[in-house]
Amino acid sequence: MPINWEAVTAETVQHLQALLRLDTTNPPGNETLAADYLAGVLRAEGFDPVILGATPSRGNLIARLKGDGSAPPLLLYSHTDVVPAEADRWTHPPFAAEIADGYVWGRGAADMKDTVAEQLMVLLLLKREGVPLKRDVIFAATADEEVGGRDGYGVAWLARQHPDLLRAEFGLSEVGGYNMDLGGQSVYMIQVAEKGACWLKARARGRPGHGSLPHDDNAVAHLVRAVNGLLAQGLPYHLPEATAAFLAAAARAAEHTPLGPIFQMLQTPAGAARAFAGPLLGHPLQPFLYAMLHNTATPTGLAAGYKTNVIPSSAEVTLDGRMLPGFDAERFLAELKPVLGEQLEYEILLETPPLEVSSDTPLFDLMAASLKAHDADALVVPYVMAAATDAKYLAPLGVPTYGFAPMQLPPDMRLMEMFHAHDERAPIAGLGWGVRVLYDVVRRYCTETA
Ligand SMILES: [Zn+2]
């Protein structure tokens, strides 16, 4: 019997609603609520899931559908925690999972309980259909993505304590597989790289004194000039492989739109400088495109002084630094210091590595083909995400991740704008569409021989 996709969509929505009604706001998390729900669903269908966590309330759920072992596993993973919601700012309450206007509304509907429900549904379907798998399919719904760092309770903890449960040839997770508007052309983005973080403080020193007698060794003035120079100049242009792949695909996709020639220009340093100073000034895509071509250091905090009439001896800026593939903190600082100032003192607060996966793999081709099979007009573009995900904890285990959680969005909806926002919601039709695409990818990848 062919799969009844309408029923599958309805079932996916039910799981999503159930998950949205569990308050897994992090902090404190309480992700065991979601893990217990998923375990109940999976046990009822003959799975043998486990819940593991550093504490009873921070449960991670893992389930495995066995293949014949002739090929390595595929990992579908997601996080079940959500960021806080200011309920009085929402049109529909954030933990009620109401359905209105074709959407399911709630905190986590886009980031990322939608994907938890989608991946769960794919696992259930593979089992119900008795698909003969060559690979194990691992389903991991994990805790503590929104707050957790290296010492977190989610993937970071699992990768340390139970690495064998996660080992796979590839992982699929957030953020990609959905359509976005590229200069009037709708394209599907698949994330193949993410930037690393280098959070730091830079401190200027000077001579203390009385505010009534200004002198030219004022730490506050030194810092202001330094930050001003950074903002004016920015950091140098780079073209990592993943960005080059994005620009080539985007130039083809947007060939007949005003953005087409701009994607061409961005492929050289001089062309990029002209584009950012000209047609991209104030353009909604400017931050997204700039971030794929540059390391960035965004001032997010300033601190100095304790009394109005005292010139303090130091002043500091907090910078959210983001590094392209190929960089580490040392190379990043070597690029930042000449721009911000060699005389400042630098202190690294956090470093996480950038990640990059090739888009030239059979799995990438399969994801692109599946998107096209379900949307005849689909153009597929790999991209570099500026922010970081839990993928960084899987990479050291040898598990590269693609950001691929397929969803078809109405033309006026931008998924990234839903993340952490008021009125977060998921389009029901687009979610059902996503389950079909993901099911196709997983079924084919895990049954076909390479
Ligand atoms: Zn997320």
Question: Could you tell me the CA-to-CA distances from 48 to 12, 63, 349 in Å, in that order?
Answer: 20, 7, 41
pLDDT in tens, 328-374: 999 999 999 999 999 999 999 999 999 999 999 999 999 999 999 99
Host H or E run for residue 209:
strand 209-210
C-alpha 418 – ligand 1 centre gap (Å): 11
User: Distance, CA 2 to ligand 1 centroid (Å)?
Assistant: 33
User: What confidence tier does 450 reach under pLDDT thresholds 50, 70, 90?
Assistant: low
Residues 46 and 116 in one domain: yes
Q: What is the pLDDT of residue 26?
A: 96
Contact at 8 Å (CB) between 339 and 329?
no
- Does one domain contain both 224 and 348? yes
- CA 443 remoteness from chain centre: 24
Encoded amino acid at 429, one letter: A
Residue 264 and residue 208 share a domain: yes
CA distances from 353 to 141, 193, 196, 296, 399 (A): 23, 11, 4, 14, 14
Q: Residue 369, class by beta-carbon neighbours within 10 Å (0-12 exposed, 13-18 middle, 19+ buried)? A: middle
Distance 275 CA to ligand 1 centre (A): 31
Percent residues over pLDDT 90 in the chain: 92
Same domain, 137 and 13: yes
Domain boundary among 301, 330, 352: 352
Co-location of 211 and 170 in the same domain:
no
Query: How far is it, in rounded angstroms, from Cα 147 to Cα 83?
Result: 9
Residue 185 lies in a domain: no
Whether residue 126 sits in one domain with residue 79? yes
Q: Which helix (H) or strand (E) holds 439?
A: helix 428-447
Q: Would you say residue 375 lies in a domain?
A: no
**One domain for residues 71 and 160:** yes
pLDDT at 16 over 60: yes
Active site residues: 81, 145
The length of the chain in residues reads: 450
Q: Do 200 and 117 sit in the same domain of this protein? A: no
- What is the number of structural domains in the chain? 2
Q: Residue 146 belongs to what domain range?
A: 5-175+389-447
Q: Are residues 160 and 280 in the same domain?
A: no
The CA-to-CA distance between both ends of the chain, in Å, stands at 28
Residues 347 and 221 in one domain: yes
- Asked whether residue 383 is assigned to any structural domain, the reply reads no
- Residue 394 CA to ligand 1 centre (angstroms): 15
Ligand 1: distance of its center to the CA of 316 in Å?
Answer: 31
Question: What is the C-alpha separation between 195 and 191, in angstroms, rounded?
Answer: 11
Residue 382 lies in a domain: no
Q: What is the pLDDT of residues 20-49, one digit of tens each?
A: 999 999 999 999 999 999 999 999 999 999
Q: Which of 325, 352, 379 is the last residue of a domain?
A: 352
Question: Measured in angstroms, how far is the CA atom of residue 111 from the centroid of ligand 1?
Answer: 5
Provide the pLDDT confidence category of residue 181 given band limits of 50, 70 and 90: confident
Tell whether 384 is covered by a domain: no
Written as six digits, the tokens of 419 are: 């993340």
Closest alpha carbon to 157 in 335, 366, 348, 393: 393
pLDDT, tens digit (0-9, with 9 covering 90-100), for 102-143: 999 999 999 999 999 999 999 999 999 999 999 999 999 999
Asked if residue 311 is part of any domain, the answer here is: yes
Query: Is 124 within the bounds of a domain?
Result: yes
Domain identity same for 282 and 171: no
Nearest CA among 324, 399, 440, 431 for reference residue 73: 399
* Mean pLDDT (whole number) for 147-176: 94
| CATH code for the domain in which residue 72 is found | 3.40.630.10
Show which of 307, 333, 352 is a domain's final residue.
352
Mean pLDDT of 307-326: 98
> What is the mean pLDDT of the segment spanning 89-111?
97
Domain-located, residue 367: no
The CA-atom distances, in angstroms, between 134 and each of 130, 215, 377, 446 are: 12, 74, 31, 5
Q: DSSP per residue over 36-60, as a string?
A: HHHHHHHHHTT---EEE-SSTTS-E
19 CA from centroid of ligand 1 (Å): 15
* Bridge partners, 27 (sequence order): none
What CATH number is given to the structural domain containing 251? 3.30.70.360
CA of 81 to the centre of ligand 1 (A): 8
Residue 81: name the closest of 143, 131, 156 by CA.
143
HSE, side-chain direction, 13 A CA sphere, residue 301? 11
pLDDT digits 0-9 by tens, 411-435? 888 877 788 889 999 999 999 999 9
Q: Whole-angstrom Cα distance, residue 111 to residue 426? A: 10
The most distant pair of C-alpha atoms in the chain lies apart, rounded to whole Å, by 87
For residue 6, the CA-to-ligand 1 centroid distance in Å is 27
Q: Are residues 26 and 117 in the same domain?
A: yes
The whole-number pLDDT of residue 199 equals 96
Going by C-alpha positions, the residue among 109, 325, 295, 280 that lies closest to residue 182 is: 280
d(CA 43, ligand 1 centre) in Å: 26
